Chain A
Amino acid sequence: MRYLTIALSKGRLTELSVQLFEAIGLDCTELKSSTRKLILQDEKNKIKFFLAKPSDVPTYVEYGAADIGIVGKDTLLEEGRNLYEVLNLGFAACRMVVAGPAELYGKLDQLNNKRVATKYPRIAREYFEHKRRESIEIIKLNGSVELAPLVGLSEVIVDLVESGRTLKENGLVVLDEIADISARLVVNRVSMKMESERINRIIDGIRKELEKR
Chain B
Amino acid sequence: MGKWKIYTPEGVQDILVNECFNKRNLEDKIRKVFSSHGYYEVETPIVEFYDVFSAETDITPQETMFKFFDGQGRILVLRPDLTIPVARVAATKFKDTNYPLRLSYIGNSFRYNELGGGKQKEFTQAGVELLGVNSPEADAEIIATAIDALLACGLENFQLDIGQVEFFKGLMEETGLSSEETEQMRLLVDSKDFVAIEELVKVHDIKDHLKELIFNLPGLFGSIDVIDRVKEYPINRRCINALENLKRVLEIIDDYGYSKYVSVDLGMVQSVNYYTGTIFRGFTYGVGFPILSGGRYDGLVEKFGKSSPATGFSLGINMIMMALDRQKIEMGKPVIDSLICYKKEGRKTAFEICETLRKQGLSVEVDITGAGIGEIKKYAEQKGIGGILFVPDSKNIEVHNVENGDIKAVSIDELLKSGGAL
Contacts and interface: CB of A to CB of B under 8 A. Distances in A.
A55 to B, nearest CB: 15
A194 B116 contact: no
Nearest to B286: A64
Interface string B187-211: 0000111111000000000000000
A6 to B, nearest CB: 14
B99 interface: no
Interface residues of B, number: 24
Contact of A83 (B191, B263, B284): B191
Given A84-B191, A85-B191, A88-B195, A190 B221 contact: no
A2 B285 CA distance: 10
Contacts of B192: 84-86, 187, 192
A62 interface: yes
B288 A59 contact: no
Given A84-B191, A194-B283, A62 B288 contact: yes
A190 B193 CA distance: 16
Interface string A1-20: 01000000000000000000
Contacts of B288: 62-65, 188-191
Interface string B245-285: 00000000000000000010100000000000000000111
Contacts of B285: 2, 194
A104 interface: no
A193 B221 contact: yes
A64 B117 CA distance: 7
Nearest to A62: B288
A199 to B, nearest CB: 11
A84 B161 CA distance: 16
Contact of A190 (B263, B265, B290): B290
A9 B283 CA distance: 27
A87 B116 CA distance: 26
B191 A63 contact: no
B318 interface: no
| Residue with the highest number of chain A CB atoms closer than 10 Å, among B195, B285, B288 | B288
Contacts of B194: 86-87
A38 B374 CA distance: 50
A3 to B, nearest CB: 11
A194 B285 CA distance: 7
A184 B218 CA distance: 16
A132 B27 CA distance: 49
B222 interface: yes
A30 to B, nearest CB: 25
A166 interface: no
B68 interface: no
A191 B289 CA distance: 9
B173 to A, nearest CB: 25
Contacts of B191: 82-85
Interface string B110-124: 000000110000000
B108 interface: no
Given A85-B191, A85-B193, A193 B159 contact: yes
Nearest to B116: A63
A85 B285 CA distance: 20
B287 interface: yes
Nearest to A83: B191
Interface string A74-100: 000000001111111000000000000
A88 B286 CA distance: 27
Contacts of B193: 84-86
A190 B289 contact: yes
Given A83-B191, A84-B191, A193-B221, A64 B287 contact: yes
| Residue with the highest number of chain A CB atoms closer than 10 Å, among B191, B196, B287 | B191
Interface in B203-253: 218, 221-222
A132 to B, nearest CB: 15
A196 B222 contact: yes
Nearest to A192: B192
A191 B283 CA distance: 9
Contacts of B283: 190, 193-194
| Residue with the highest number of chain B CB atoms closer than 10 Å, among A59, A87, A189 | A189
17 contacts: A62-B117, A62-B288, A84-B191, A84-B192, A84-B193, A85-B192, A85-B193, A85-B196, A86-B192, A86-B194, A187-B192, A189-B289, A189-B290, A191-B288, A192-B192, A194-B283, A194-B285
Interface of A: 2, 59, 62-65, 82-88, 187-194, 196
Interface of B: 116-117, 157, 159, 161, 191-196, 218, 221-222, 263, 265, 283-290
Given A86-B192, A190-B287, 10 more contacts: A64-B289, A85-B191, A85-B195, A85-B196, A187-B192, A190-B283, A190-B288, A193-B159, A193-B161, A193-B221
